[in-house]
């Protein structure tokens, strides 16, 4: 078995300060008794320049930490490479989820040149965004209808001329459920009514829904920081 060739001189002239051969010894310890695994953990956790009481005064540990720190540099460099998720990943996941949920409910407005269909989920998003603009609303989530009802109606209307139109949204009618978290101290009743008013206006102005039922549930109160 050959001894590893070291290209870096270890100071203090003490073989016990050289961690290189010790790496191959399962019970490797420096001359001072320090465990080579503990020293490796120390540098791996980016503490190579911070020493505990023993290490601060121990030439063996200081030399070994320097050597192991150099050795570990490529790992830290690899860890420092920034990795960003694909920009469209969230949108793709949500689209796949919508497909999974059979989110195919539309409002349908027959016109002279064809039909206009809006996904119920899109209506829910518009409602949510309108609610989020109301002072005192910390967060809002919207859904157009309960899934069990949607499934039942979907089945019942499958052979109709315009399938899916009876669910949640029908013609120019929509039923939206909004769940809100309100900032602590805000008058909840006022906030909820303002949410209803703004969402109704938003859906009327943006997609022409004139008969909208907005069911608001305030289910959390959040303290401001």
Six-digit token string for 74: 């490529």
Work out whether 149 is an interface residue with another protein (CB under 8 A): no
Is 138 strand, coil or helix? strand
Do the strands 137-143 and 173-183 form a parallel or antiparallel pair, or are they unpaired?
antiparallel
C-alpha distances (whole Å) from 58 to each of 6, 16, 18, 54, 181 are 22, 12, 13, 6, 56
Contact of 130 with 192, CB cutoff 8 Å: no
Residue 144: name the closest of 161, 160, 164, 127 by CA: 127
Count the site residues for another protein by CB under 8 A: 56
Work out whether 133 is an interface residue with another protein (CB under 8 A): no
Task: Pick the stretch among 56-64, 86-94, 158-166, 195-203 that binds another protein (CB under 8 A).
Answer: 86-94
Work out whether 118 is an interface residue with another protein (CB under 8 A): no
Among 15, 50, 89, 156, binds another protein (CB under 8 A): 89
Is 212 strand, coil or helix? strand
Residue 119: name the closest of 142, 140, 92 by CA: 142
C-alpha to C-alpha distance for 214 and 105, rounded to whole angstroms: 17
Residue 170: name the closest of 112, 215, 108 by CA: 108
Work out whether 29 is an interface residue with another protein (CB under 8 A): no
C-alpha to C-alpha distance for 12 and 63, rounded to whole angstroms: 8
Work out whether 188 is an interface residue with another protein (CB under 8 A): no
Is 155 strand, coil or helix? helix
* Closer to another protein by Cβ: residue 23 or 104: 23
Is 120 strand, coil or helix? helix
Task: Pick the stretch among 34-42, 152-160, 165-173, 203-211 that binds another protein (CB under 8 A).
Answer: 34-42
Work out whether 204 is an interface residue with another protein (CB under 8 A): no
x/- track of binding to another protein for residues 94-113 (CB under 8 A)? x-xxx-xx-x----------
Among 30, 48, 124, 137, binds another protein (CB under 8 A): 124
Work out whether 81 is an interface residue with another protein (CB under 8 A): yes
Task: Pick the stretch among 119-127, 167-175, 194-202, 204-212 that binds another protein (CB under 8 A).
Answer: 119-127
Among 40, 126, 130, 192, binds another protein (CB under 8 A): 40
Residues that bind another protein (CB under 8 A): 4-8, 20, 23-24, 37, 40-41, 44, 68, 71-72, 74-75, 77-79, 81-86, 89-90, 92-94, 96-98, 100-101, 103, 121, 124-125, 128, 138-139, 141-143, 146-147, 179, 181, 183, 220, 222-225
């Amino acid at each position: 078995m050959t001894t590893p060739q070291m290209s870096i001189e270890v100071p203090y002239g003490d073989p016990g300060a050289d961690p290189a051969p010790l790496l191959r010894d399962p019970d490797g310890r420096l001359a001072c008794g320090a465990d080579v695994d503990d020293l490796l953990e120390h540098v791996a956790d980016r503490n190579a320049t911070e020493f505990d009481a023993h290490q601060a005064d121990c030439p063996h540990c200081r030399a070994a930490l320097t050597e192991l720190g150099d050795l570990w540099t490529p790992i830290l460099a690899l860890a420092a490479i920034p990795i960003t998720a694909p920009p469209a990943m969230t949108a793709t996941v949500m689209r796949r989820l919508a497909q999974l949920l059979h989110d195919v409910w539309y409002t349908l407005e027959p016109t002279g040149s064809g039909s206009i269909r809006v996904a119920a989920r899109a209506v829910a998003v518009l409602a949510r965004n309108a609610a989020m603009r109301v002072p005192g609303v910390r967060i809002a989530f919207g859904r157009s209808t309960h899934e069990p009802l949607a499934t039942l109606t979907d089945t019942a209307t499958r052979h109709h001329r315009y399938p899916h139109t009876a669910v949640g949204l029908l013609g120019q009618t929509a039923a939206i459920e909004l769940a809100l978290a309100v900032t602590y101290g805000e008058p909840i009743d006022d906030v909820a009514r303002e949410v209803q008013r703004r969402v109704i206006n938003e859906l009327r102005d943006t997609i022409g829904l004139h008969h909208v039922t907005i069911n608001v549930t305030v289910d959390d109160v959040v303290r401001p920081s």
